Structure 1
Amino acid sequence: MASNKTVIKPYPEILEIPCNDIEFGELIGHGGTCSVLKGVWKTKKDFPVAIKRLNHFREIEIVVLRKIKADEEQKHIGRKFITEILGVSKKDHMDCMIMEYAANGSLHHYLSQKREQEQLLENETFFTWTRQGALAIQYLHELDIIHRDIKSLNFLITDKYNLKVCDFGISCITDETVTTTYTGSLPWMAPENFEAFFKGRGSRIMVSKRSDIYSYGVVIWEMRTLREPHKTEKVDGNYPLNDEMPSKLKDMMHSCWETDRMKRPSILDILQTMQDLSITMEVEVKDFIEMPDERPFPGGDNNAVNVEKRLTEVGKYNTLL
């Protein structure tokens, strides 16, 4: 009989969950490195979870999530906008990461729905989500974590309609600009990484925290325009901006997309610009769309839990990773 003991080597702060404690449900997303299933943690009162079933185990993702989970003080509000790992497990010889379940799917899916309905994001939602995403990136950067794959597919929306960043499978931990092999998603990719993309995955590229800034500028553009970067032609190296868009917002996005990464703003600059703009536009910006439930996650973690109110239909996480 095959053992169901996980082969992901044990790490402090990461709970090892017997697979029989988890009920594996329907497929809700898939990608080249994993598939994502809906599930429940049966021994924790059927607590809803997302199960990331790995085709290829990437140790860096566990290392990054462990580093985040080990932040016991959690004083930085950006910590609340990071998707939580609840534990690891194994089923049918496949390693699984048991993750917090975000009931409203990916930001990419949500924006697609808005586009179909021909509805822009409300200003309050746009500014609040922009702030939440920036706070998450600020928190990661303060821990010297470069995400390296910031895109709308890697932001999830909780049952309380708050934004959380996910997928650290190609992240790196460093306080410097580093040379590494190519990975990432082309429509959101900083220009310093383009050459390696066309040479192939074995090529070496330079990545820094300011590569994340470029990518986040594209996510902000997606939220404001509802346009899709992979279906939009750039003009002079930039994604097109609407004439009616506030000039301060256009200037900030253009600065995020500077070819010279050292000319890009810091995440603090983005937070300040968006705050100033919201004041000018008389938009109320909150830390949360709705306050999350403050009960702890199962397994003894002290982070706030987002209790599922609605089950997602198949497709909300489609091509999540």
Structure 2
Amino acid sequence: MTTVSGAVDAGFELFWSPVNDQCITCMESGGVCGYNWKQSEFTCFCYDQPNQDACPTRPGSNSSKPSSTNTALIIISAVLAGIGLGWGIFACTQRKKRIAAQSSISAAAKSKDIPSPTLSKGLITPSASFSHSIPSYPFPSIEFGKASTYFGAQVFSYTELEEATNNFDPSRELGDGGFGTVYYGKLQDGRVVAVKRLYENNFKRVEQFMNEVEILTRLRHENLVALYGCTSKRSRELLLVYEYIPNGTVGDHLHGKRANSGLLSWPVRLSIATETAVALAYLHASDIIHRDVKTNNILLDNNFRVKVADFGLSRLFPNNVTHVSTAPQGTPGYVDPEYYQCYQLTEKSDVYSFGVVLIELISSKQAVDTNRSRQDINLSNMAMKKIQNRALHELVDPSLGFETNSSVRRMTTLVAELAFQCLQTDREMRPSMQEVLEALRKIRNEDLNVQKAEVVDILKGNFPLMSPDLEAAEKWASNSTTPSSSG
């Protein structure tokens, strides 16, 4: 066993930790902590001699190393702190921008009073000659196409719609209008759609594109075509995605590729007129002028129910304004002559165009046909002349049975009279769209009542009701053969 004295004589290592500030200071200066028994105080044993607190700097030593290390650490810490602070500020700014953009999108999609842009297919410049001033309605400042929806409409990628239409296969074309081609398509979720591909991607087309998106996302009606979505305005092409309406347009059935189908009987035509009037009256009640009412913009489903389409030219009508002064827009043969001459757009402009549609339904003739005589190139001019000259039979489609069916003759005459009112050159003489709708409903109800009465007469073994002309003739003959009471 090793004794204490033996351990002292042999030597041993002692491990200890300094516990006071003086010893730590001494060690940091390169000394060794000790104790002066004579003076009974702490001593720092240095390279040259004991000192009371710490060792002096050794000549030639690199005494600046600790200081340089500390300085480097301080600089690195400052740089890292600066980077962290800058990143935090950037992240906070981006978060605020995202929140603001989402708020703008949500407000635009939910609000019923969305400020309207220049709602037209052309460049419309408000005029100072309005009866009331019309404010400018800029588009929202959100980046269209960065969100998954715009005004509530889904934003599709160009690639997705390219696949849906089989790379815009010409065999899938549904129609070709003045502003774009419509293709049959099928989305990945199984929905069958009609994809409208605008011809150009310029400022005017973007304006029409965004105009139609805003109009159709804020309106919901069974007689208006539904918009499913669109591409971003920054897409390589401007595309609109609608519900697919399978039975073509009214124009197709009247004088297009479906004209020989014979499916547009008079009751079907009267129903088409009434439902189109319902859609237009709804638009006017929503302060919207369609501005391109024509048979090629009236779609039909398999049950011949109406879906009014194509709102690229539509215009949101400001409140408390009697008219909007703007360059005329629309399709030749349907444009209101007063609008064309005076540059004043009103709801009655749609009424005029609808009057042309009524004449098309009666005659099955095109609104403009250069093969007709010069005075009759415009169908509206021809109709006004025929009606005024009491030659309606020369205008009516013979396949409707105007000459043989008294009910058809009565109804077509009433509708022709209504169209005559809609086609008045002076817009003040035209009825409102609501008044047109009420007149059509009355005519339709009268037609149904007459049909019921004729069915009852047939069941009783009586003859069908005679035409008004024949009734008058028989009454005159009866009176002329009655003996005079004076004899």
TM-score range, shorter chain: 0.7 to 0.9
1:17 to 156, 172, 175: 156
User: What residue is the counterpart of 1:305 in the other structure?
Assistant: none
Please say if 1:214 is aligned against 2:358: no
- Quick one: distance in 1 between partners of 2:302 and 2:246? 5
What is the SS of the residue equivalent to 1:111? Answer: helix
Distance in 2, matches of 1:28 and 1:277, equals 34
- Matched residue type, 1:53: R
Residues 167-193 of structure 1 deviation map (CA, whole Å, 9 limit, x = unaligned): 111111014310112221111111113
Are residues 138 and 272 of structure 1, via their aligned partners in 2, closer, same or farther at CA, if it must alter by over 3 Å?
Answer: same
Picking from 130, 153, 172, the partner of 2:296 is 153
Tell me, in whole angstroms, the C-alpha distance in 1 between the residues paired with 2:441 and 2:206.
Answer: 37
For 1:79-228, what aligned pairs fall within 5 Å after superposition? Answer: 79-89=221-231, 93-112=236-255, 116-117=259-260, 119=262, 121-175=264-318, 176=321, 177-195=323-341, 205-228=343-366
The answer on whether the counterparts of 2:253 and 2:261 sit within 8 Å (CA) in structure 1 is: no
Aligned to 1:292: none
Larger displacement relative to structure 2 (85-94 or 128-137): 85-94
Query: How far apart, in 2, do the equivalents of 1:88 and 1:264 lie?
Result: 37
2:421 aligned with 1:280, yes or no? Answer: no
What residue ranges of structure 2 are gaps of 5+ in the alignment? 1-142, 167-171, 394-401, 403-408, 452-487
Quick one: which amino acid aligns to residue 132 of structure 1? E
Instruction: Let me know the Cα RMSD of the aligned residues.
Output: 3.0
1:228 counterpart SS class = coil
CA contact (8 A) 2:192 2:244 kept: yes
- Partner SS for 1:126: helix
Deviation at 1:249, TM superposition (A): 2.1
Within 1, Cα distance between the matches of 2:380 and 2:250? 27
Q: Which has the higher contact order (CA 8 A, sep 6+)?
A: 1
Q: Look up the SS of the partner of 2:194 in the other structure.
A: strand
Q: How far apart are the structure 2 equivalents of 1:98 and 1:236?
A: 34
Larger relative strand fraction: 1
Cα distance per residue 1:218-251 (max 9 Å; x no partner): 1111112211121251599452452355343222
Q: Which moved more, 1:57-66 or 1:17-26?
A: 57-66
| Stretch moving more, 11-20 or 205-214 | 11-20
Matching of residues 246-257 of structure 1 within 5 Å:
246=410, 247-257=413-423
Q: In the superposition, relative to structure 1, how do residues 116 and 95 fare at CA in structure 2: closer, same or farther (>3 Å)? A: closer
Deviation at 1:17, TM superposition (A): 1.6
Residues 115 and 283 (structure 1 numbering): CA distance in 2 closer, same or farther, change over 3 Å? Answer: farther
Aligned counterparts of 1:18 and 1:284: Cα–Cα separation in 2: 54
Matched-pair identity in %: 24
* Structure 1 Cα separation of the partners of residues 174 and 261 of structure 2: 25
Q: Write the distance in 2 (CA, Å) between the matches of 1:216 and 1:161.
A: 18
Question: Does residue 53 in structure 1 map to residue 197 in structure 2?
Answer: yes
- Cα distance in structure 2, aligned partners of 1:28 and 1:13: 26
Q: Where does structure 1 lack aligned partners over 5 or more consecutive residues?
A: 197-204, 286-321
Distance 1:215 1:65 in 2: 23
Higher-Rg member (1/2): 2
Change (3 A) 1:237 1:226: closer
| Superposition deviation, residue 24 in structure 1 | 1.5
Amino acid at match of 1:164: K
Offset at residue 101 of structure 1 (A): 1.1
Q: Indicate how the Cα distance of structure 1 residues 179 and 92 shifts in structure 2: closer, same or farther if over 3 A, else same.
A: closer
Residues 86 and 123 (structure 1), Cα distance of their counterparts in 2 relative to 1, 3 Å cut:
same
Deviation of the 1:81 alpha carbon: 0.8
> In the alignment, residue 415 of structure 2 is paired with which amino acid?
L
Amino acid at match of 1:167: D
Asked whether the 8 Å contact 1:121–1:224 carries over to 2, the reply is no
Q: Using a 3 Å threshold, how does the CA distance of structure 1 residues 12 and 280 change in structure 2: closer, same or farther?
A: closer
Please report the TM-score for the alignment, with normalisation by the length of structure 2: 0.49
Deviation at 1:36, TM superposition (A): 1.4
Distance 2:231 2:178 in 1: 20
Matched, 1:70 2:212: no
Q: Distance in 2 between the 1:30 and 1:236 partners?
A: 24
Aligned residues of 1:7 and 1:95 also touching (Cα < 8 A): no
Distance 1:114 1:41, change over 3 A: closer
Could you tell me how far 1:161 is from its partner in structure 2? 2.2
Shift of 1:61: 4.9
- Alignment CA distance shift 1:284-1:159 (3 Å): farther
Query: C-alpha distance in 1, partners of 2:253/2:207?
Result: 30
SS at match of 1:213: helix
Aligned partners of 1:108 and 1:152 also within 8 Å: yes
> What is the SS of the residue equivalent to 1:88?
strand
CA distance in 1, matches of 2:251, 2:368: 12
Cα 1:50–1:114 change in 2 (3 A) is closer
1:53 deviates by: 1.1
With normalisation by structure 1, the TM-score equals 0.73
Query: Using a 3 Å threshold, how does the CA distance of structure 1 residues 238 and 179 change in structure 2: closer, same or farther?
Result: farther
Match of 2:181 in 1: 35
